[in-house]
Structure 1
């Protein structure tokens, strides 16, 4: 039976899943016994699907629209047209929004998420709302790039208009760097902002704040791609959080009139009262260890809220912006020494007094794979909690300095 003849099954949910670890607790979000929940997974994610899944289909790339369309059609033939197609990673949302429209599934469409997914439109929206933004321009060639830098100064940041995890982002220091830029996709350039990058993860309820937490990076995501450890720690300074609350009050209502989960990045400009410059925002749960920290430290599951919203269900009984614990949370990602995939030769556990409360470090012989889940498969993942920002930051810094990992390139075969 073709999809044109298939009927909706109000129980059938399709989940697009790319993680090896349990970033999302799907069995608590969907009653797998009440109706079919089918999964489309990448090879790396195939081992972490609930055993109660109605069907699991593995594809090489969830970003391949043609393959995904055929896979969803096959699942719809078997279980009925899905009431929802759920995807919790940003990189697959352009494909999933197209499939929702094509198969009549619940959830936001491409036009709803365009200004959250495409950085040129995102910056234009922030400018329209009236929050501070870096000087920004679309660039199509080396001449455009050189002219922008001549006007606004070096260094500049060039990035694809679409992408996540800092893929394709470069910091250009001088005219000598320009010729190495390849314009193989839509690009934009921004003036460099020499201030710390902060992060806010939370829920906006359409007319008021749900829970949110403000953090700052120790280093940054771009540096991590070039081999620098990436730390992240929540901010316990009441004045800084109050200033961010005012920034959010202006920004969030202008981006979407409906409830949404968000991951905001901004520059924090120091001052007696800090101010903020918009960098980017996603309508999704923050990446890396964020879902774990919210569940384990704050007792709140952001992924559960995002799943409800993707099924067209407005979340109920959410806590106020103050979460259930005053503990400060943080994480550390250590890069892999070799290009992925690589095999671990030696690794050091960092659990113990003064260290993380949880870690993911492969034992010797384990393989760090190449994966669409970029921040999952790294040299080491560590989660921290403590009474103060300063205390958690000190623990992160200590682990980053003392962690030991040795890897060798791996071609997929055993010698």
Structure 2
């Protein structure tokens, strides 16, 4: 696919797997001043504005790195070389780093990205810097030393894939017999386990430029992503200014420096144990779910735009956006979110709130008759709610009030929803929703 729009700026390749509004890269990259090529899936290419795109390569599987390498080679031929490569999905970061290495493109290289994509490498690096981490081990090491397992790791433990995202495949194991039953079913070399630290869990999200914070917000989870993956609601509340808020931000910066991370967005999770703060996980990417929406709605900061400007080498655009984010970082506004997971196998009929909630400013529901097939990710959930107010307490109150007053109707189906009428609907008042952990 060609469009003859000569550009004087950089020659940029974009890896795009998104087929929704996130694929509007023209918001982030000047397609008139630069020469842009895309590598997409057939679904995601339909979401692009192709009027100023120089070249497009389509791949049925963007995770096929051999095919991806060939596609980028074709883009390089079409562009006359590649100056920058942009990848904004966590699933593409390591492949993008390998491509930069192969094509001699500036930006994050494999030795940088692997420190974030491989949980064992991440945790070892942070522990070596003298920061607290849960006791952890490769699953294969524990199995080899089964007799000593209980001296190495205390139950409960968290078993998780070594490379992954959003706690997909992670599970909490309560007892040694449960562990002994699980480990033969897993590819041991691909899993780690870590000690479960009891305490409230927090996340810190923001953006670094040359090792300095541009903007950051610390938030407290109400429930966790691990529990969300198990079908429970997930909430989060931005913290008021406090010594704890400052400690969480400072701890995050120490972790990022230990990982030699200097430029880009980050999402870092921390648990406050009885003896202090413990590192849990980190992603060198924009936080998932409602996090980017909150930064945009509360502070006017588009973390994806910042990231794209940094990756694409647009110094002027990056400088403007960084200054706006620095100005916004002083804002006293606080926000939060609530996400209700997909009721897999059901059809969405309708939903409503039984009362007005002052802190709630946005509620997102699926379209009527949407079939929950378990592939909605964070985009098509049972419900997504966003909150803003002047204090942490107002946000937390709004989240709990939402749970108490949210009513939704689902239907059973005997076949895919486009071929069968739903059976009698089931009405679920909010009081029957799975309870969240207390604030």
Q: TM-score range by the shorter chain?
A: 0.7 to 0.9
Q: Does the Cα contact within 8 Å between 1:294 and 1:300 map onto a contact in 2? A: yes
Tell me how far apart the structure 2 counterparts of residues 158 and 332 of structure 1 sit (CA, whole Å).
26
Tell me how far apart the structure 2 counterparts of residues 399 and 214 of structure 1 sit (CA, whole Å).
22
Question: Aligned residue for 1:330?
Answer: 336
Q: Are 1:112 and 2:112 matched, yes or no?
A: yes
Question: SS of the residue aligned with 1:121?
Answer: helix
Please list, as runs of the form range in 1=range in 2, the aligned pairs for 1:115-126 lying within 5 A after superposition.
115-126=115-126
Q: TM-score, normalised by structure 1?
A: 0.86
Q: For this pair of structures, how many residues does the alignment match?
A: 401
Q: Does the Cα contact within 8 Å between 1:196 and 1:267 map onto a contact in 2? A: yes
Q: Which has the higher contact order (CA 8 A, sep 6+)?
A: 1
Q: TM-score, normalised by structure 2?
A: 0.82
Tell me how far apart the structure 1 counterparts of residues 287 and 47 of structure 2 sit (CA, whole Å).
20
Change (3 A) 1:49 1:333: farther
Select the residue among 176, 180, 183 that pairs with 2:182. 180
Tell me how far apart the structure 2 counterparts of residues 91 and 321 of structure 1 sit (CA, whole Å).
31
Deviations 1:213-247, CA, capped at 9 Å, x for gaps: 00121111111111101111111141211222332
Tell me how far apart the structure 2 counterparts of residues 365 and 310 of structure 1 sit (CA, whole Å).
40
Question: Aligned residue for 2:356?
Answer: 353
Question: SS of the residue aligned with 1:357?
Answer: strand
Question: Aligned residue for 1:276?
Answer: 277
Please list, as runs of the form range in 1=range in 2, the aligned pairs for 1:245-284 lying within 5 A after superposition.
245-256=249-260, 258-269=262-273, 275-284=276-285
- CA drift of 1:40 comes to 3.1
Tell me how far apart the structure 2 counterparts of residues 291 and 321 of structure 1 sit (CA, whole Å).
18
Q: Does the Cα contact within 8 Å between 1:42 and 1:59 map onto a contact in 2? A: yes
Q: Are 1:393 and 2:392 matched, yes or no?
A: no
Q: Does the Cα contact within 8 Å between 1:346 and 1:406 map onto a contact in 2? A: yes
Tell me how far apart the structure 2 counterparts of residues 145 and 364 of structure 1 sit (CA, whole Å).
53
Unaligned residue ranges in structure 2 (runs of 5+) = 1-6, 421-439
- CA drift of 1:116 comes to 1.1
- CA drift of 1:326 comes to 1.4
Tell me how far apart the structure 1 counterparts of residues 332 and 231 of structure 2 sit (CA, whole Å).
32
Question: Structure 1 stretch 141-150 or stretch 29-38: which is displaced more?
Answer: 141-150
- CA drift of 1:204 comes to 2.5
Tell me how far apart the structure 1 counterparts of residues 145 and 91 of structure 2 sit (CA, whole Å).
26
Q: Are 1:215 and 2:234 matched, yes or no?
A: no
- CA drift of 1:208 comes to 3.0
Question: SS of the residue aligned with 1:82?
Answer: coil
Question: Aligned residue for 2:201?
Answer: 197
* Structure having the higher Rg: 2
Question: Structure 1 stretch 116-125 or stretch 12-21: which is displaced more?
Answer: 12-21
Tell me how far apart the structure 1 counterparts of residues 369 and 241 of structure 2 sit (CA, whole Å).
43
Unaligned residue ranges in structure 1 (runs of 5+) = 1-7
Tell me how far apart the structure 2 counterparts of residues 70 and 9 of structure 1 sit (CA, whole Å).
25
Tell me how far apart the structure 1 counterparts of residues 209 and 328 of structure 2 sit (CA, whole Å).
15
Q: Does the Cα contact within 8 Å between 1:149 and 1:155 map onto a contact in 2? A: no
Q: Does the Cα contact within 8 Å between 1:299 and 1:324 map onto a contact in 2? A: no
Change (3 A) 1:405 1:133: farther
Tell me how far apart the structure 2 counterparts of residues 364 and 240 of structure 1 sit (CA, whole Å).
43
Change (3 A) 1:219 1:46: farther
Tell me how far apart the structure 1 counterparts of residues 63 and 338 of structure 2 sit (CA, whole Å).
28
Change (3 A) 1:108 1:21: same
Question: Structure 1 stretch 81-90 or stretch 349-358: which is displaced more?
Answer: 349-358
Question: Structure 1 stretch 250-259 or stretch 387-396: which is displaced more?
Answer: 250-259
Q: Does the Cα contact within 8 Å between 1:203 and 1:210 map onto a contact in 2? A: yes
